[in-house]
Amino acid sequence: MAGPKTSLDVRADPTRGRRQLGAVSSLAMLALSSLALSSLATSGARADESATSFWLPGTFGSLAAAPAQPGFSFASVYYHTSVSAGADVVRSREIQVGRLNPTINTNLNASLQATGDVALLIPSYVFGTPVLGGQFAVQVAAIVGRSSAAAAGTLTAVVPPFNLIRSIDVVDSSSGFGDLYPQASLKWNYGTSNIMTYVSGDIPVGNYNAGSIANMGLGHAAIDGGGGYTYFDPTKGHEFSAVAGFTYNFMNQTTNYQSGVDFHLDWAVSQFLSKQFFLGAVGYVYNQISDDSGSGARLGGFRSRVLAVGPQVGYIFPLEGRQAFLGLKAYYEFDAQNRPQGFNTWLTLSVSDAAATARPAPLIRK
């Protein structure tokens, strides 16, 4: 496969290489990678308490660690998820909302279906002055949308000498604003190699009701940090990125439930077919590495995990003197434990300042 038609050679001219790399990654910074929107506590969505986690797997993608064009950027993302789960997740939800007593011997045969459709609005700013020799950037993500969940099945309670059977048919939904997710990052470029570190968190201001099985907010604060690596050779169009991190969850004061520590790894690989167009694959690993705790954690550790893989495509184009990026990526989840699994898609449009171009050297007249 032919590489992109570009005059960039990082080895021959590192300064010019960084300019070209900045032109590409100014869009990728928000559109593909550091969205840091973190948790989307949609209806049956994720892990930990009630199978809902702070971190949204797939947040980071291609060019995640590559430096960006200094200045302001703005990204908007349409995120859709559709998941299902079995009795383990339904049991956690029923206990959360107070419809199931965990001390009673029961047999639960039930399933959960959940969907979420949200818009993510992400302004960011990249500083032009180096910090610790790297590029410093800050951003905040806000979400607005709707999530819904439906649980159905039968619950059999054993109370000798009787077996009591109850039907479960719960439908719930939540609309409005979710939490706020700030992030700060530092990135360093070394030719075709790039490294980054980041810290993000959850400000729990979104719509949340402990008695609902569908929420837009998480119900508690969280902090997350990690690092990543991007390999990008613009002369051949090869790109690979991986970002790993850990989440520490604070106590949910409403439910007295503290989710355990979570590990997550997002990865992406892409091939630029031209300066503007690329194809590739994405995936993630999500795994809870410590038990849930607190008086509300009546199911014990309730550790969760899930894997995912899928395709991606992206296009970079000029827009009224600025640079724009349009990207689509999708994930198919599998090997889930104590959390729903399904698929999710991300449609991203981001706009940033155009890359600076070198001024021609002045003519010297004698």
Q: Is residue 181 part of a domain?
A: yes
Length of the chain: 366
Q: Is residue 362 part of a domain?
A: no
The yes-or-no verdict on residue 42 having pLDDT over 80 is: no
What confidence tier does 84 reach under pLDDT thresholds 50, 70, 90? confident
Q: Is residue 1 part of a domain?
A: no
Q: Is residue 5 part of a domain?
A: no
Q: Is residue 4 part of a domain?
A: no
**pLDDT of 263-293, one tens digit each?**
999 999 999 999 999 999 999 999 999 988 8
Residue 123's H or E segment, with its range, is strand 106-126
CATH assignment at residue 275: 2.40.160.40
Q: Is residue 3 part of a domain?
A: no
Total domains in the fold of the chain? 1
Q: Is residue 261 part of a domain?
A: yes
Output the pLDDT for position 187: 98
pTM, entire model: 0.80
The yes-or-no verdict on residue 185 having pLDDT over 80 is: yes
Residue 25's H or E segment, with its range, is helix 14-28
Domain enclosing residue 84, as ranges: 14-353
Q: Which residue has the higher pLDDT, 360 or 147?
A: 147
Output the pLDDT for position 269: 97
Question: What does each C-alpha distance from 16 to 63, 102, 309, 318, 330 come to in angstroms?
Answer: 18, 63, 34, 20, 33
Output the pLDDT for position 104: 54
Close Cβ partners of 365 (under 8 Å, ≥ 6 residues apart): none
Q: Is residue 360 part of a domain?
A: no
**pLDDT of 134-178, one tens digit each?**
999 999 999 999 988 887 777 676 666 666 677 777 788 888 999
The stretch 203-212 carries a mean pLDDT of 88
- Tell me if residue 88 falls in helix, strand or coil: helix
Close Cβ partners of 19 (under 8 Å, ≥ 6 residues apart): 355, 356, 357, 358
Output the pLDDT for position 213: 74
